[in-house]
Amino acid sequence: MATTLTTQDHSRDVAGLTYIYPVLSRRAGGISVGINFNVNNACNWRCVYCQVPGLSVGSAPDIDLLKLREELYFFLAYVDSGRFYSDFSVDPNCRDIKDISISGNGEPTSLASFGEAIEVVKEVLERRSKLGQIKLVLITNGSLLHRESVRCGLALWGALGGHVWFKLDSATVTGRELINSTMIPVERIMENIKVTGEVCELWLQTCLFDYPGKISFDGEVRAYQLFLQEIRIKAKIQGVYLYTIARPPLQPEARVIAPVQGYQLDRVADSIRRIGFRVQVSY
């Protein structure tokens, strides 16, 4: 196979599998093994910076759990054999699995069999003797974490040592409507953060960007700081991950929105540290 895997390649079908895809991750600094439940490119949100091609409104379809098991087992064995690295000409400095991330073309917790899918991941990791060896990350918009079935899956994820990256782009109703196309109330966000932090290592992930004529950057940051001051007392949060738009969004608003500068990220990061959080910044 004459293919080179680079950090620019975020295609979900690069390895020819349905649910599993490798990414050379700038966030992780190596190979991230992605798991995509949303093979229909459907999400319950529509973020203006979303990079999912042909994004539609909806939930993940029913998935083939047997196929998920086979693909994850196959891919981990493929990497362990070393053939994946040579087939894809992976940079020798990046020949390591940094994490397994449930991060799809849509909201992964919208999968009806989310809990069963986590059981499958657990089973495969046990069979490949990987439990506790590889960081596990669930990337979620957090909006469905009040569902009982999702909470069961989250509890198992936490028992496996799983981390949760919980999206929080705006602490205002207007901001969430304009940025994420959601009307989720702040009380539900707080409750979902609280419940998640009780069972998993929880990080908030926040995308900062300019949205001229729609969003006041300074106003959003002030509301965000107030939110963090309140949630810090109520919930167990490991830290905050700040980033900006790194690749061209695939939504109509792509013409209008723009990344913020590094110094703006640094300024917000410092203010969050003063509130008492650990902060990671991705430029």
Q: Summarize as ranges the residues that interact with ligand SF4 (CB under 6 A).
A: 43, 45-47, 50, 52, 55, 106-107, 141
Nearer to ligand SF4, 76 or 205 (CB): 205
62 DSSP assignment: P
Nearer to ligand SF4, 10 or 222 (CB): 10
Nearer to ligand SF4, 36 or 228 (CB): 36
Q: Shortest distance, CB of residue 249 to ligand SF4, whole angstroms?
A: 9
Q: Shortest distance, CB of residue 104 to ligand SF4, whole angstroms?
A: 7
Count Cβ atoms below 10 Å from residue 80 Cβ, excluding itself. Answer: 13
Residue 49 contacts residue 257 (beta carbons within 8 Å): yes
Residue 106 to residue 36: CA distance in whole angstroms: 8
Integer CA distances (angstroms), 261 to 26, 96, 243, in order: 18, 31, 10
Nearer to ligand SF4, 56 or 133 (CB): 56
How many Å from the N-terminal Cα to the C-terminal Cα in the chain? 33
Q: Shortest distance, CB of residue 151 to ligand SF4, whole angstroms?
A: 19
Q: Shortest distance, CB of residue 254 to ligand SF4, whole angstroms?
A: 13
Residue 203 to residue 163: CA distance in whole angstroms: 8
- Residue whose C-alpha is closest to residue 48's, from 166, 212, 163, 277: 212
Tokens at 252, concatenated: 């109509």
Nearer to ligand SF4, 105 or 277 (CB): 105
Q: Shortest distance, CB of residue 56 to ligand SF4, whole angstroms?
A: 10
Nearer to ligand SF4, 53 or 219 (CB): 53
Residue 8 contacts residue 74 (beta carbons within 8 Å): no
Q: Shortest distance, CB of residue 43 to ligand SF4, whole angstroms?
A: 3
Residue 117 contacts residue 37 (beta carbons within 8 Å): yes
